[in-house]
Every structure is written in structure tokens, then in C-alpha cells.
Amino acid sequence: MALKVLVADDSDVMRKIILRNLRMAGVDVEKCYEARHGFEALYHLSKDDVDLILSDINMPEMDGLEFIRKVREMDLSKRVPIVVISSEGSEHMMREAVKAGADEFISKPFTPEKLRERLARFIEA
């Protein structure tokens, strides 16, 4: 199933790495929207539906937690899975991400295999 994906990370390079790893993990990415922060990501969501959101936490302008909260408040056509991909892997941050509305948390650095394993239930749904 080809997916439309939104990747939010303030690092240009990390967004490309995430996309590369998604494809290496066997995810068929039909379209990838990239955002440097929460505001940009919300803009993309206002223009098109996506099937999966991958978001960092530490971003300027609007951080990942705030972005996730805003997404869950939006009246989207369907509930989009949100996966946090962050270098901050503390239990506290994972709890905060889930509390904000994230469905999964992946710590950086990650391998394509780990990505595949953690995204399986969203990709195959």
C-alpha cells in the first residue's frame, strides 16, 4: 500500500535519512511532505491527507509535542498514526509524547529494521 507520509524534523539531513530508512524498511512512500517545525507540518496537513506522521520533538517555532496535540485537535478525515522519532529517549519524554497523542516512539539512531518493526502495525493496517 503506497503511503503519504509527513516527516517533521528541523534537520534537513535527518528528514532525508528518515525517508531513506522508510524506503529501506520496505515502506512504499507515494508522497513525502517535509516540515522543519510544527507550524509547517500543520500547514501540510491543512492541504492534504496523510497516512502516517513521523515527528521529532525538539524543533523550533513549534515543538513536536505541541504539534501532536494540535493534530489531535484537528478535524481530520481519519485518525492518522503519529510516530515520534527523537534523540530524547527518556521514559518521561515517551510518556509526554503518548500523553500528547503519539502512537509510537522510536529513539534515534535507528535502523531500517527497527523502523519496520515499530511501524508494522500502521503500515499493514
Binding residues (CB under 8 A) for another protein: these are 10-14, 16-17, 19-20, 58, 60, 86-93, 107-109, 111
Shortest Å distance, C-beta 77 to another protein? 31
Residue 104 in 3-state DSSP? strand
Closest CB to another protein among residues 64, 80: 64
How large is the angle between the packed helices 64-73 and 91-100, nearest 10 degrees? 20
Instruction: Output the smallest distance, CB 67 to another protein, in A.
Output: 16
Give the number of residues written for the chain: 125
Least Å distance, CB 73 to another protein, is: 26
DSSP for residue 91: H
Q: Which is closer to another protein, CB of 3 or CB of 14?
A: 14
Residues 6+ apart with CB under 8 A from 119: 22, 25, 27, 52, 83, 104
Nearer to another protein, 88 or 104 (CB): 88
Q: 91 or 124: whose CB is closer to another protein?
A: 91
d(CA 73, CA 124): 25
**Minimum gap (Å) between residue 16 Cβ and another protein:** 4
